[in-house]
A and B are shown apart, each in its own frame.
Chain A
Amino acid sequence: MKLKGRKISGGKARGIALVSRKSLSFLGGVDPETGVIKDTESDIKGESIRGKILVFPRGKGSTVGSYVIYQLKKNGVAPAAIVVEEAETIVATGAIIAGIPMVDKVDIGKIKTGQFVEVDADKGEINVEE
């Protein structure tokens, strides 16, 4: 299944989808050392985002979250790509400085955790294996 979105941060990636239906705060919500979600309100708490295609509606919280995304990348535990419904400043900035492919304006209701996903952020295209 092909989904269309909009490029926020360029690049291509493939991997297993990890899907949350809730807004995500990177500062305080994700452990920058391990890439494990620790936000107690998150529906993917305890999951590792390392190497995943991380799918969630939108970012929230402190603008320092951008730097946390950068640190995840430096520590080798960043997601392979980020797919959101609606990009906002924090996650968009983080994805760009970390060089993580990111696409927004995607109907994320069509993606489920565990599916294999290919992201071509330059074209704003997502391919979900059914």
Chain B
Amino acid sequence: MYLTKEEELILAGEYGFALQKAIEILVALGEIYGADSLIPIKNAQVAGVSYKNIGDAGIEFLRDFVDAGAKVSVYTTLNPAGIGEEPFMEKQREILELYRAMGIEITSTCTPYYGANLPKFGDHIAWSESSAVVFANSIIGARTNREGGPSSLAAAIVGKTPNYGLHLEENRRATVVVDVKAKVRNFVDYSFLGYYLGKTLKNDVPYFKGLNPESLDHLKELGASMAATGSIALYHVEGHTPEYKEALEDKVERIQVEEKDLEEVKEKFNVDWSEIDAIVIGCPHASIQEVKEIAKLLKIREKSPKIPVLITASRAVKALADTLGYTEVIERYNGKIIADVCLIVSPVEKWYRGIATNSGKASFYFSSFGLKVRLEDTEKLILEAP
């Protein structure tokens, strides 16, 4: 891999330990995946925030890194934190403070694109958080590989990333055409489709035919679910996403998705309401439109559900909901908007036996923790909950 004189100096330790370690990571990844050079990035999104995930090992590394003078050199936002009781929260606050000390905006959301960090088409970025990666690549047309927490942090510190994978035009073309014959209309249908395809496809770039997404949130959920059950980092939707016209080449494998394929997912997450302790909406974090819809449905329902309606969203969206009056409505009906937090990275298995959600991604993780899951559309969740 070609390195500039300055990069060589950083690698030799001339600019200190933190920058040296960071560029060592980038160079090693570049060598492993065949990059020709490092390229500048516009911004970064760093995962590895919840104490449940990174544990004491992560804290120790971050503390040593801060002590060594680690500072980000590009605009960098952060993934959501966990929520729990003490001493969990004390550790969680320490992690956020360590990231803040590195110059990171401690936005704590998996949907930076709804607020603090919206890249433009063609920008090279280094994002971790698989749902944000697939959103940035597919819906915005920015370019990022599926980074892990440490590699996105390294890229943020150096301000560069190795030039391989989805940074290169030729790797952004479709590798499989997905002809959707099943009826996919509501938010939850995109969860079913994404959940099924993540399991079915490999390291593919799918090209969807026959999809007509009504909202950005539907596409958000499709990508998030595929990225959770599989390793999809980019997809194209004919007529809807910015790169679909250049994405198709001759000789690409074709598959069809029929109604019966999605039935399997529906049956898997069909736990009776009697076993459900909470409704969780906002995985990835809810947009203001999703919040508005929930408030509207609660008003139509008129009576508070017996189980809490927990909505996770970014602080930006929560602030809007406060101002626009939706928070007040939601709280009136046993609901709550929890800002900057992710329940998947919190010790939920200690609190609930079963969860109802509209998210394929949340269903995948909650069931992996041993929770019972009901996967249903937003409207049914709110109107039919006990």
Which residues on B sit within 8 Å (CB–CB) of A68? 57
The answer to whether the Cβ of B347 comes within 8 Å of any Cβ in the partner chain is no
Contact-residue size bin, chain A (C-beta under 8 Å from the other chain): 20 to 34
Contact across chains for B21 and A96 when beta carbons are under 8 A apart: yes
* Cα of A104 to Cα of B148 in the assembled complex, Å: 20
The answer to whether the Cβ of A56 comes within 8 Å of any Cβ in the partner chain is no
Whole-angstrom distance from the CB of B23 to the nearest CB of chain A?
Answer: 10
Identify the closest chain B residue to A70 (Cβ): B61
* Cα of A68 to Cα of B32 in the assembled complex, Å: 21
Identify the closest chain B residue to A9 (Cβ): B28
Contact across chains for B60 and A96 when beta carbons are under 8 A apart: no
Identify the closest chain A residue to B148 (Cβ): A63
Which residues on A sit within 8 Å (CB–CB) of B29? 89, 92-93
Which residues on B sit within 8 Å (CB–CB) of A34? none
Interface residues of B in 9-57 (CB under 8 A from A): 21, 24-25, 28-29, 31-32, 47-48, 53-57
Contact across chains for A104 and B32 when beta carbons are under 8 A apart: yes
Task: Pick the residue among A8, A67, A87, A104 that contacts B61 (CB under 8 A).
Answer: A67
Contact across chains for B56 and A89 when beta carbons are under 8 A apart: no
Contact with B along A59-72 (1 / 0, CB 8 A): 00011101110110
* Cα of A103 to Cα of B154 in the assembled complex, Å: 21
Contact across chains for A70 and B48 when beta carbons are under 8 A apart: no
Which residues on B sit within 8 Å (CB–CB) of A94? 150
Residues of B within 8 A of A (CB-CB), count: 23
The answer to whether the Cβ of B149 comes within 8 Å of any Cβ in the partner chain is yes
Whole-angstrom distance from the CB of A102 to the nearest CB of chain B?
Answer: 8
Which residues on B sit within 8 Å (CB–CB) of A8? 28, 31-32
The answer to whether the Cβ of B58 comes within 8 Å of any Cβ in the partner chain is yes
Contact across chains for A62 and B53 when beta carbons are under 8 A apart: yes
The answer to whether the Cβ of A6 comes within 8 Å of any Cβ in the partner chain is yes
Identify the closest chain A residue to B21 (Cβ): A97
The answer to whether the Cβ of B358 comes within 8 Å of any Cβ in the partner chain is no
A-B contact pairs, 11 of them (CB 8 A): A8-B28, A9-B24, A66-B149, A66-B150, A67-B54, A71-B57, A87-B32, A89-B29, A92-B25, A92-B28, A93-B150
Additional A-B contacts beyond A67-B54, A92-B25 (10; CB < 8 A): A8-B28, A32-B56, A62-B53, A63-B151, A67-B60, A67-B150, A70-B57, A70-B60, A71-B57, A96-B21
B interface residues with partner A (beta carbon < 8 Å): 21, 24-25, 28-29, 31-32, 47-48, 53-58, 60-61, 128, 148-151, 154
